[in-house]
Structure 1
Amino acid sequence: MDAGATIDDVRDRTETERTRLGSDKVLIAATDATLETDAVLTAAATRESGLATVLDRWAAETESAVATQFETAAEDAAGRTDRIDADAGDPDGFLDHLETVSGTAQRVGVGLVAAPLIADQLYLQVVSFFINEADEQRADTFREIRREASALDDGETALGYLSESERETAAAAATEAIEAAYVDYAETLEAMGLDPKPIC
């Protein structure tokens, strides 16, 4: 598989989890059922700030061309944190999972493929929240943040530096990270007495 096919493979493997992570319940889980502007901003700032910190550390620990992609992605996440303009809270389940990842290929999969795919779903609901709040300025800001945070350019470039077997490793790590994010989401909702599965 080339880089593009690797990303498509991750999408195919995680379609169910990603769809559920894009439901309107994701902000209930992310804010501990506090669906207010400050709580939503804190959840977004937590994700971007935590991602920036981890990616920056990975860049420093990586002795290959992939370090540049980690560094660029870290700078971008830090920039989004500044635009969100809110204090970060305690790390969420996905950020906790990032702390367990070692190995360059695994980190490429998790930080540069899984993270953008998850961000696309999270920010879909953040945009919807601010539309419902009639806060068009913040809705526009988060449309832009969603577009940037879900971009896979760094991931595709980094995957291109890896061997085919390493890309398979990256895909497996990305799939595992998305599944871990879903498990955390599901367990959080279940603890609130809510069903994480969509009502059909």
Structure 2
Amino acid sequence: MDADGVISTVREEQATELDRLGSEKALIAATGATLEADAVLEAAATREHALAAVLSDWGEETDGAVGGAFAGAADAAAARATTLDAPPGDPDAFGAHLGGLTGTPARVGAGLVAAPLVLDRFYLQVVSFFVNEANEARADLARELRTDASDLERARDVLGILAVEDREHARDAAVEAIGVAYAAYADTLADMGLDPKPIC
């Protein structure tokens, strides 16, 4: 399985979870039903700050091209957090999960594959929120952040230099990390009396 195969498999195996993570209920869960601009920006900043911190640590702990990829992804997440200009909250379940990972393949899968896929879905709703608010400047900003956050080129590059068995481990770690993000999302909505499944 090559790099694109890993990413495609993760998308296929977690298609339902990713779809629901990008539903109209995403910001309800992320903000505790506080659907206001400041709360939305804080939710985004929380995710970016947590991701930047974890990836930065991994970059310092890992040698070679993989360490460089972690460091580059950390810098990108930190730049997005700065652009958001909002105070972050405590790391969410996904961020906490990343912080507990050990081993390069697991970190590649969760941090460079799963994180962009999860952020892509999250920012989709951030864009929609600001469009509905008729705030085109912030909607455009959210689109730019989404494009940057969902970039999988680092993942492809790093997966390409891993051994086959390590790519498989990375795939499994990405699937697990998305599962953690979805479980937290579903549990949060359930606590609010909402069903995470879309209404048909």
- TM bin, normalised by shorter chain, reads over 0.9
Confirm whether residue 165 of structure 1 aligns to residue 165 of structure 2.
yes
* CA distance, structure 2, for counterparts of residue 64 and residue 179 of structure 1: 29
Unaligned runs of 5+ in 1: none
Which residue of 2 is the match for residue 193 of structure 1? 193
The one-letter amino acid of 1:23's match is S
Q: Aligned Cα RMSD in Å? A: 0.6
Cα offset for 1:65? 2.0
The one-letter amino acid of 1:71's match is A
* CA distance, structure 2, for counterparts of residue 64 and residue 137 of structure 1: 39
Structure 1 stretches of 4+ moved >3 Å: none
Cα offset for 1:100? 1.6
Secondary structure class of the residue paired with 2:64: coil
TM-score, normalisation: structure 2: 0.99
Secondary structure class of the residue paired with 2:139: helix
Q: Report sequence identity in percent.
A: 58
* CA distance, structure 2, for counterparts of residue 154 and residue 63 of structure 1: 15
The one-letter amino acid of 1:103's match is G
The one-letter amino acid of 1:56's match is S
Which residue of 2 is the match for residue 69 of structure 1? 69
Which residue of 1 is the match for residue 45 of structure 2? 45
Which residue of 1 is the match for residue 24 of structure 2? 24
* CA distance, structure 2, for counterparts of residue 149 and residue 65 of structure 1: 20
Cα offset for 1:50? 0.7
Secondary structure class of the residue paired with 1:65: helix
Residues 169-178 or 62-71, more deviating: 62-71
* CA distance, structure 1, for counterparts of residue 136 and residue 19 of structure 2: 25
Cα offset for 1:64? 3.5
Unaligned runs of 5+ in 2: none
TM-score, normalisation: structure 1: 0.99
1:69-118 CA distance string (max 9 Å, x none): 00100000010011101010111111111112110000000000000000
Number of paired residues? 200
1:161-194 CA distance string (max 9 Å, x none): 1001000000000000001100000000000000
The one-letter amino acid of 1:132's match is N
1:28-66 CA distance string (max 9 Å, x none): 000001000000000000001110000000001112320
